[in-house]
Structure 1
Amino acid sequence: MGMRLSTAAAGFLLLAGIGAAAAQDVVVIEPEQETVIREYVKKQPLASVKIPGVELNIGSALPDTVELHEVPDTKYSYVVVDNRTVVVDPGTRKIIKIIE
C-alpha cells in the first residue's frame, strides 16, 4: 500500500510540475493595457488576412510572413486573422489574446 501511495504521489508531482511549466508561458495582459488595446484596435481596423495551416489559439506562433501592427503605449502588436483580432507578443510572434 505504501508503494502505491508513493507512486501516485510521484505521478501527481510530475503532473504538477508540467502544469507549472506550461503556466510560465502564459502572458497576462494588465486590465489597463487590455483597455488600451481594445480601444486602439476599434479605432484602427485592419483588413482580415488568411493564414493557411495556422490555428488561432493562445500560444500559437504566427509566421514571419504575417505583418504585425504595433499598439502604441503597449508592448504588443495585433493583426486580424479570419475576421478575429489577435494580440501578439512581437518578440515571440505568439498569440496572447483573441479579441472577439
Structure 2
Amino acid sequence: MRMHLCSAAAGLLLLAGVGAAAAQDVVIEPQQETVIKEYVKKQPLASVKVPGVELNIGSTLPDTVELHEVPNVKYRYTVIDNRTVVVDPGTRKIVKVIE
C-alpha cells in the first residue's frame, strides 16, 4: 500500500511539473502578431545592442532595455540587432522574435 501511494504521489508531481511547463508557453494569436507587425512598421525604432543576451524565446532582457507599448496589446516590443522582439512586460522575457 505504501509503495502505491509513493508511486501515485510521484506521478502527480510529474504531471504537475508538465502542466507548469506548458503554462509557460506563450502563444501570440496571428491577429495580435499582425497588429504588432503593422504598428512596428509605423513606429520604427532604432536598433540597440544588448551584449550577452541571446535573442531566443524565454531569454530575459535587462532593465536597461526600453520596452515600447503597442496599443491594445499586452506585450511590449523593442528592436535588438535589427530584429523586432516581443516581450512580456511583467517578466521581461522574450515571447516572440519577428524576423
TM-score norm. by structure 1 comes to: 0.79
1: CA distance between counterparts of 2:34 and 2:72? 11
> Percent of pairs identical after alignment?
78
Write the deviation string for residues 29-80 of structure 1: whole angstroms up to 9, x where unpaired: 1222111111101111110101111111101110000000001111111000
Q: Which residue of 2 aligns with 1:64?
A: 63
Matched, 1:51 2:50: yes
Q: Which residue of 1 aligns with 2:83?
A: 84
Give the secondary structure class of the aligned counterpart of 1:88: strand
Give the secondary structure class of the aligned counterpart of 1:57: coil
**Counterpart residue type for residue 68 of structure 1:** L
Count of residues in correspondence between the two structures: 90
Q: What stretches of structure 1 of length at least 5 have no aligned partner?
A: 1-9
Q: Which residue of 2 aligns with 1:27?
A: 26
Give the secondary structure class of the aligned counterpart of 1:46: coil
**Counterpart residue type for residue 91 of structure 1:** G
2: CA distance between counterparts of 1:72 and 1:24? 25
**Counterpart residue type for residue 95 of structure 1:** I
**Counterpart residue type for residue 86 of structure 1:** V
TM-score norm. by structure 2 comes to: 0.79
Q: Which residue of 1 aligns with 2:96?
A: 97
